[in-house]
Amino acid sequence: MGSPRWFYSSSEKWVPWLAFVAIGTLIVGAVWGLAFAPVDFKQGNSYRIIFVHVPTSAVAMAGYMIMATAAAISLIWKMKLAQVVMKCCAPIGAGMTLISLISGSLWGKPTWGTYWIWDARLTSMLILFFLYLGVLALYEAFEDSESAFKAGAVLSLVGSVNIPIIYWSVEWWNSLHQPATIKFTEESTMHSDMLQPLLLMIAGFYCFYALLLLVYTRSEILFRERNTQWVKAIVAKKCNDNFTDKSLQS
Amino acid sequence: MQFDSFSALIAMDGHGVYVWSVYGISFVILFLLALNPVLKNRRFFVEQSMKSRRDSMLSERNEKRLVK
């Protein structure tokens, strides 16, 4: 267990199910949030951006913790699979952080009157984006994959300091950004008609993140193990299948 | 539904441009994120099958040379 080969073969059946659940949940959540959730009495319809902004921000932060955990596991136990997962977290996390930044900026214009302000929450989120890009760039900067991995792992571990800063920035500093809407310890400050589609979108984005991480990891495993017998067998089988399909068509 | 007509849904009382841009840009980024490994896999299988074909041709040629 834990070997790339085992992961590749046992994760295959998860891909279509995760894709179905993730895309289905996101479509239902988006339609619900855009057309059926009630209008906010203060912000009007611009608040509908929350259904993208909050889930992507949460996933971007959780994704960073996954990357840092994978980095720690692979540095301590030299686990190959954790190395692969760590590398795959970076582009997906960068994409999610970019959506969070763009959606926040477009929400800021009608609500605060500006697209951007150097506020604690916004700045720390921008740093998160650069941390993801930094890990990606470090991978490309080294010829030797082992050094590239170590440099990326150290950066992701050091950068995890930023996560609690993002989370509590709205409480520690005087921020233009509103405090958390969904709280774990007390009742949420949101009406249930708005909260339900938001929770659905959060679940959808987490599933979509899991799907992306799974697909990226599987693809990276194939590439890394390309010289092994089991990958060569998969390539040969795929070629044969393609050949039979083409001959059947003609 | 919260809106009386389709045009009201698009306009969202003047906030439509922000809301729809967010959903549109998010869709594009998510789509590109999902497309990336699909293209990478396709390229991988094409390259590897070409490589294995080349390898088998080379080994066949070597065998013929050895027989001669």
The pTM assigned to this predicted structure is 0.91
Q: Any chain B CB within 8 A of the CB of A136? A: no
pLDDT tens string B8-28: 888 888 899 999 999 999 999
Q: What is the mean pLDDT of residues B50-55?
A: 85
Confidence band of A29 (pLDDT split at 50, 70, 90): very high
**Do the domain assignments include residue A174?**
yes
B39 reaches A (C-beta below 8 A): no
Q: How many domains, in total, are found in chain A?
A: 1
Q: Is the pLDDT of residue A1 over 60?
A: no
Answer yes or no: is A106 within a domain: yes
> What is the domain extent for residue A188?
4-244
Average pLDDT, chain A: 90
pLDDT band (50, 70, 90) for residue A216: very high
Chain A residues in contact with B14 (beta carbon < 8 A): 44, 110
Mean residue pLDDT across chain B: 89
Residues of A with Cβ-Cβ distance to B44 under 8 angstroms: 219, 222-223, 226
Per-residue pLDDT band at A28 (split at 50, 70, 90): very high
Q: Are A99 and B30 inside 8 Å of each other by CB?
A: yes
Find which of B4, B6, B7, B18 to mutate to test the A interface (most A CBs within 10 Å of its CB).
Answer: B18
Cβ separation of B12 and A212 shorter than 8 Å? no
The confidence score (pLDDT) of residue A13 equals 92
Angle between helices A192-224 and A14-31 (to 10 degrees): 150
Read off the pLDDT of each residue in A12-21 and give the average, rounded to a whole number: 94
A-chain residues near B34 (CB < 8 A): 212, 215
* Residue A30 belongs to some domain of the structure: yes
Q: Which residues of B touch A37 (CB under 8 A)?
A: 2
Residue whose tokens read 């339609």: A31
Q: What is the pLDDT of residue A218?
A: 95
Give the number of other Cβ atoms within 10 Å of residue A206's Cβ: 17
Residue A249 covered by a domain: no
How close, in Å, is residue A185 to chain B by CA atoms? Answer: 30
The answer to whether B33 contacts A92, with C-beta atoms less than 8 Å apart, is yes
In this predicted structure, the answer to whether residue A238 has a pLDDT above a threshold of 90 is no
- Which chain A positions have a beta carbon within 8 Å of B45's beta carbon? 235, 238-239
| Residue B3 DSSP SS3 | coil
How far apart are alpha carbons A162 and A177 in whole angstroms? 17
A226–B48 C-beta distance less than 8 A = yes
For residues A153-182, give the mean pLDDT.
86
A250, part of any domain? no
Give how far A240 is from chain B: nearest CA, Å. 10
* Alpha-carbon distances, residue A31 vs A17, A24, A25, A210 (angstroms): 21, 11, 10, 22
| Domain-located, residue A186 | yes
Q: What integer pLDDT is reported at residue B65 of this predicted model?
A: 81
Q: Where do we find the tokens 């083409």?
A: A246
**Interchain CB contact of A158 with B (< 8 Å):** no
Whole-angstrom distance, CA of residue A186 vs CA of residue B1: 30
The confidence score (pLDDT) of residue A85 equals 94
Residue with tokens 């894709």: A19
Query: Cβ(A157)–Cβ(A71) under 8 Å?
Result: yes
Residue B68 pLDDT level (bands cut at 50, 70, 90):
low
Interchain CB distance below 8 Å, A34 and B45: no
Contacts for A13 with CB less than 8 Å, ≥ 6 apart: none
Residue A246: band (very low, low, confident or very high) from pLDDT cuts 50, 70, 90? low
pLDDT in tens, A74-119: 999 988 899 999 999 999 999 999 999 999 999 999 988 999 989 8
- What's the CA gap between A157 and A168, in Å, rounded? 19
Count CB atoms within 10 A of the CB of residue A134. Answer: 18
Tokens encoding B15: 């906030």
A40 strand-pairing partners: A44
Q: pLDDT tens, A170-204?
A: 888 877 788 777 766 666 678 888 899 999 999 99
B66/A contact by beta carbon, under 8 A: no
DSSP notation for chain A: ---HHHHHHHHTTHHHHHHHHHHHHHHHHHHIIIIISPPBTTTBGGGGGHHHHHHHHHHHHHHHHHHHHHHHHHHHH--HHHHHHHHHHHHHHHHHHHHHHHHHHHHHHHHHS-S----HHHHHHHHHHHHHHHHHHHHHH-SSHHHHHHHHHHHHHHHTTHHHHHHHHHHHS--SSPPPSS-SSS--SS-HHHHHHHHHHHHHHHHHHHHHHHHHHHHHHHHHTTTSHHHHHHHHHHHHHHHHHHHHH-
Which chain B residues are closer than 8 Å to A235 by Cβ? 45, 48-49, 52
Q: Is the pLDDT of residue A2 over 80?
A: no
Answer yes or no: do A95 and B25 touch at CB < 8 A: no
- Confidence band for B3, pLDDT divided at 50, 70 and 90: confident
A230 lies in a domain? yes
Instruction: Say yes or no to pLDDT of A67 above 90.
Output: yes
Any domain includes A224: yes
Asked if A92's CB is within 8 angstroms of B18's CB, the reply is no
Cβ atoms of residues A213 and A3 within 8 Å: no
**A109 contacts on B by Cβ (under 8 Å):** 18
Q: For residue range A108-152, what is the model confidence (pLDDT) as tens digits?
A: 999 889 999 898 899 999 999 999 999 999 988 888 888 888 999
In Å, the largest CA–CA distance within chain A is 69
Quick check: A35 and B18 CB within 8 A? no
- Residue A41's pLDDT is 84
Strand-pair partners of A44: A40
